[in-house]
Amino acid sequence: MEDKTLSSVYPSLYEFPMTITMFVCMVIPAWFIIHRWNQRNEKGPKTWPLLGASIEQFLNYDRMHDWLVEYFSVTKTVKVPMPFTSYTYIADPANVEHVLKTNFANYPKGETYHSYMEVLLGDGIFNSDGEHWRRQRKTASLEFASRNLKEFSTIVFREYALKLSSILGQASLDNKEVDMQELLMRLTLDSICKVGFGVEIGTLAPHLPNNSFAKSFDTAQIIVTLRFINPLWRIKKFFNVGSEALLDQSIKTIDDFTYSVIRKRKAEIKEARATNENDNKIKHDILSRFIELSENPENNLNDKSLRDVVLNFVIAGRDTTATTLSWAIYMIMTHPQVADKLYSELKDFEEEKAKQENVSLLPYNPEDAESFNERVTKYASLLTYDSLGKLLYLHAVVTETLRLYPAVPQDPKGILEDDVLPDGTKVRAGGMVTYVPYSMGRMEYNWGPDAAQFKPERWLKDGFFQNASPFKFTAFQAGPRICLGKDSAYLQMKMTLAILCRFFEFKLVPKHQVKYRMMTTLSMQYGLQLGVVRRS
pLDDT tens-digit map of 143-161: 888 888 889 999 999 999 9
Tell me the three state secondary structure of residue 420: strand
Helix (H) or strand (E) holding 60: none
Q: Which residues are annotated as a binding site for heme?
A: 483
Distance CA 359, CA 378 (A): 9
Strand pairing category for 460-461 and 426-427? unpaired
The pLDDT value given to residue 168 = 97
Distance CA 217, CA 400 (A): 28
pLDDT > 70: what percent of the chain?
A: 90
Q: What value does the mean pLDDT take over residues 433-444?
A: 98
Q: Which residues are annotated as a binding site?
A: 483
Q: What long-range pairs does 211-217 form, CB within 8 A, spacing at least 24?
A: 211/186, 212/253, 212/257, 213/189, 213/253, 213/254, 213/257, 214/185, 214/186, 214/189, 214/318, 216/249, 216/250, 216/251, 216/253, 216/254, 217/250, 217/254, 217/314, 217/315, 217/319
Q: Which residue has the higher pLDDT, 285 or 501?
A: 501
pLDDT at 385 over 50: yes
The pLDDT value given to residue 139 = 85
Q: Which residue has the higher pLDDT, 278 or 515?
A: 515
Strand (E) positions, 43-85? Answer: 77-81
CA geometry: angle 424, 476, 390, nearest 5 deg: 130
The pLDDT value given to residue 285 = 79
Across 107-111, 276-280, 385-389, least confident range: 276-280
Q: What pLDDT band is residue 7 in, cutting at 50, 70 and 90?
A: low
The pLDDT value given to residue 494 = 98
Across 229-243, 325-339, 467-481, 487-501, least confident range: 229-243
Termini Cα distance of the chain: 103
Number of Cβ atoms within 10 Å of the Cβ of 227: 21
Amino acid identity, position 138 = K
Amino acid identity, position 495 = M
The pLDDT value given to residue 45 = 86
Residues 6+ apart with CB under 8 A from 178: 167, 168, 171, 529, 530, 532
The pLDDT value given to residue 41 = 46
Helix (H) or strand (E) holding 363: none
The pLDDT value given to residue 35 = 44
Which is nearest to 331 in space by CA: 439, 438, 456, 450?
456
pLDDT tens-digit map of 344-371: 999 999 999 888 888 777 777 878 888 8
Distance CA 47, CA 64 (A): 16
The pLDDT value given to residue 29 = 56
pLDDT tens-digit map of 175-229: 999 999 999 999 999 999 999 888 888 999 999 998 899 899 989 999 998 898 7
Strand pairing category for 464-465 and 460-461? antiparallel
The pLDDT value given to residue 26 = 58
pLDDT at 283 over 70: no
Q: What value does the mean pLDDT take over residues 451-464?
A: 96
pLDDT at 40 over 50: no
pLDDT > 90: what percent of the chain?
A: 67
Tell me the three state secondary structure of residue 534: strand
Q: What pLDDT band is residue 439 in, cutting at 50, 70 and 90?
A: very high
Sheet containing 77-81: order of strands = 77-81, 86-90, 432-435, 411-414
The pLDDT value given to residue 16 = 53
The pLDDT value given to residue 390 = 95
DSSP letter (8 states) at residue 533: E
Cβ atoms 416, 410 nearer than 8 A: no
pLDDT tens-digit map of 15-31: 556 566 665 565 555 54
Q: What pLDDT band is residue 53 in, cutting at 50, 70 and 90?
A: confident
Distance CA 255, CA 440 (A): 35
DSSP letter (8 states) at residue 198: S
Residues 6+ apart with CB under 8 A from 481: 100, 104
Cβ atoms 442, 452 nearer than 8 A: yes
Across 94-98, 139-143, 497-501, least confident range: 139-143
Q: What value does the mean pLDDT take over residues 46-65?
A: 84
Mean pLDDT across the chain = 89
